Amino acid sequence: MSARRYRPDWAAVPVVAFLGVFFALPIAAALLAGFLKYDPIILVGREFTFANYVRFLTDWFYLRVFVDTLVIAVLVTAASVVIAYPVALHLHHVASSRTRTFLILIILLPVMVSYVVTAFAWVVILGRNGFVNQALMATGLLERPMALLSRPSGVVIVLIYTFAPFMVMNIYAALEAIDRSLLRAAAVLGATPRAAFWSVTVPMSLPGVLSGTLLVFALSLGAFVTPMIIGGNQVKTVPVMIYNFVSGVFDWPGAGAMAGLLLVLSYGCNYIISLIFHRRLAWLKNQR
Amino acid sequence: MAEKPALSPGVVLAAVVVYALFILPMFVTVAASFTQTQTVQFPPRGFTLQWYGEILNDRELMDGMALSAAIALCAAAAASVLGTLGALYLARADGVRRELFQSLALAPLTIPHVLIGLAFLMTFSSLGLINAYGLALAHVVICVPYVMRSVLSILMAGDASLPRAAAVLGASPIRTLIHVTLPSVRPGIISGAVFAYLVSFNNVSISMFVSSPRTATLPVVIFNRIDYVPNPSIVAVAALMILATSLILLALDKAFALFRTMFG
């Protein structure tokens, strides 16, 4: 019995110590800096102030960037669901495990390989000197290269490509977890395959849609490497602006405050999305 | 009765289109790396391995590659130790302390990377850690959750009667841990470590904040060069990263199941 009771509480100590010192404290320091005054020489002053927050929350220029970032995140998430669902269904139905492994590799590559490489691949295709522009110019349809990427739609496209795999994997996992006897029961009770799909498969896959949505939304909200590479300086999102505050104008307190707002926004949206889903999924929750 | 009713052709077509669109950029990148032209071209003109040879002469790229490999190795090793310890704790703990521990250890997955990067930049610059050591520390932090989840999934699925049998037979808790529990979670540690290696090697969002011109990881070097007219050797490096990542993913047993434990 002692084996069952044995709790290696000591195992938590090195993890808490390491993450406490090298993760929690730095995060706390960055958030705290958001409440300190900007100092042109030491960057982060000593005076406590709400000025950074007030500045971002009262200036329409900054609020606009927040709204744009939210819109991009909503579009990327919605498009990811639409794109991911048929793929997840298809993966769920592929009989050969070899084919499935190969298809899953195709889907996983954009998130596993560096985001720099993922974004760069799109520059080769849609960039100013990219494949599409060259093809259009060669056929005489275009005289000068078009800016296909450095606009919000380009950022949205590449972000979908970068984050949709998370949606595919979450929905696919939910589909795999569905109890087959439910489908059989539906068939026995006279449901056509189509009816069984809409009344069993889709509702039972919603938890996967939820976890995928939470993940893709948070990632899109926080993405900055892809928008910077794809958007050039034409597309402003909150994380890109934070990066510019950090390494462009060296306003670290400003960056801290904006990162604080981003964190609140990210966790707030997470909470709201789960709330909406759980209200709809109350029946599912009782089942588990 | 067919357990899985056939898919409608529309769904299959949609899926095939998505697969094609997903592989296209990777394919284009690899193909463009063989071009004989001095600028990036797709479709490539001719065929040459010249740009792969150029990488060898490119000091910055070679240094970046070596640095990334070294940091990923350190980060994966350190994260394996910390992640395994964390999983051992989580498998047995309960109550508020478990919740607190879990939110601390998994926070690197949910906090926006731009905030994590900013936090590292602020603290590490005052500690003189904007160098390879700082990069390694930062990467350990973002890698710990992956190993922890990977090991925890095995611990939770594992058979609890083995450690109990060891205890009944008189083994001390530590002996049980070393001779029974750890060997049983070894696959979880290994796949978690490989995953952590991939995450660290490919990371750019955190590295950008902790890199200096003299210590830039490979993805940061690529990032810095995209702004200029990209030269085909950058495409060759990107192609190498795509190929290496694919091979490692294929070698990982059940990459999907692993991915699912990481991001479920």
Structure tokens of B140?
Answer: 């350990």
Domain count within chain B: 1
pLDDT of residue A2: 43
Tell me, what CATH number does B128's domain have? 1.10.3720.10
Read off φ and ψ for residue A43, nearest 5 degrees. Answer: 65, -60
User: Quick one: closest CA in A to B211, which residue?
Assistant: A247
Asked, for residue B45, whether it belongs to a domain, the answer is no
- Identity of the residue in A26, A124, A263 whose CB atom sits nearest the CB atom of B40: A124
d(CA A168, CA A173): 8
**Residue B215: strand, helix, or coil:** strand
Asked, for residue B264, whether it belongs to a domain, the answer is no
Q: Do B122 and A33 touch (CB under 8 A)?
A: yes
Kindly state whether B89 is in contact with chain A, defined as any CB-CB distance less than 8 angstroms: yes
d(CA A56, CA A66): 10
Asked, for residue B209, whether it belongs to a domain, the answer is yes
Asked, for residue B111, whether it belongs to a domain, the answer is yes
Residues of chain B found within 8 Å of residue A119, distances taken between Cβ atoms = 226
Q: Residue B101: is its pLDDT beyond 90?
A: yes
- Among A55, A26, A280, which residue's Cα sits nearest to residue B142? A26
pLDDT of residue A3: 43
pLDDT of residue A137: 84
User: Quick one: closest CA in B to A211, which residue?
Assistant: B264
Kindly state whether B259 is in contact with chain A, defined as any CB-CB distance less than 8 angstroms: yes
- Among A177, A171, A178, A168, which residue's Cα sits nearest to residue A199? A178
Q: Do B29 and A117 touch (CB under 8 A)?
A: yes
Min distance B116 CA to chain A CA atoms (Å): 6
Burial pattern B104-135, b for ≥16 Cβ within 10 A else e, equals bbbbbebbbbbbbbbbbbbbbbeeebbebbbb
Of chain B, the percentage scoring pLDDT greater than 90 comes to: 56
Selected residue of A94, A116, A209 to mutate for chain B interface (largest B Cβ count, 10 A): A116
Complex ipTM value: 0.90
pLDDT of residue A114: 93
Specify the higher pLDDT residue, B156 or A19.
A19
Instruction: Supply angle C-alpha A223, A229, A230, rounded to 5.
Output: 90
Min distance B171 CA to chain A CA atoms (Å): 9
pLDDT of residue A284: 65
Burial pattern A20-58, b for ≥16 Cβ within 10 A else e, equals eebbeebbebbbebbbbebeeeebbbeeeeebbbeebee
pLDDT of residue A171: 94
Asked, for residue B145, whether it belongs to a domain, the answer is yes
Asked, for residue B153, whether it belongs to a domain, the answer is yes
Q: Do A114 and B42 touch (CB under 8 A)?
A: no
Distances (CA, A) of B87 to A7, A202, B235: 12, 34, 39
Asked, for residue B84, whether it belongs to a domain, the answer is yes
Asked, for residue B180, whether it belongs to a domain, the answer is yes
The arithmetic mean of pLDDT across residues B62-71, rounded, is: 96
Q: Do A6 and B176 touch (CB under 8 A)?
A: yes
d(CA B208, CA A263): 20
Q: Residue B264: is its pLDDT beyond 70?
A: no
Min distance B101 CA to chain A CA atoms (Å): 7
User: Quick one: closest CA in B to A132, which residue?
Assistant: B42
Min distance A236 CA to chain B CA atoms (Å): 14
- Confidence grade of residue B3 (pLDDT, cut at 50, 70, 90): low
- Identity of the residue in A170, A187, A246 whose CB atom sits nearest the CB atom of B264: A170
- Among B135, B107, B141, B110, which residue's Cα sits nearest to residue B121? B135
- Identity of the residue in A122, A180, A225 whose CB atom sits nearest the CB atom of B25: A122
Selected residue of B115, B203, B212 to mutate for chain A interface (largest A Cβ count, 10 A): B115
Q: Chain A, 19-78: which have a CB under 8 Å from a chain B CB? A: 19-20, 22-27, 29-31, 33, 44
Q: Do B160 and A4 touch (CB under 8 A)?
A: yes
- Identity of the residue in A3, A22, A117 whose CB atom sits nearest the CB atom of B241: A117
User: Quick one: closest CA in B to A209, which residue?
Assistant: B264
pLDDT of residue B118: 95
β-pairing verdict for A36-39 and A43-48: antiparallel
Q: Which of A82-86, B159-163, B183-187, B234-238 has the lowest mean pLDDT?
A: B159-163
Structural domain that includes position B168 = 72-217
Contact B105, B145 (CB under 8 A): yes
Q: What is the pLDDT along chain A (288 residues), one digit of tens a residue?
A: 444 556 778 889 999 999 999 999 999 999 999 999 888 777 787 888 898 899 999 999 999 999 999 999 999 999 999 999 999 999 999 888 888 888 999 999 999 999 999 988 898 888 877 788 888 888 888 777 777 788 888 999 999 999 999 999 999 999 988 888 888 888 888 888 888 888 888 888 999 999 999 999 999 999 999 999 998 878 899 999 999 999 888 899 999 999 999 999 999 999 999 998 888 777 665 554
- Residue in this structure with the two tokens 């990032």, named with its chain if needed: B223
- Confidence grade of residue B117 (pLDDT, cut at 50, 70, 90): very high
Structural domains of chain A ordered from first start? 60-282 (1.10.3720.10)
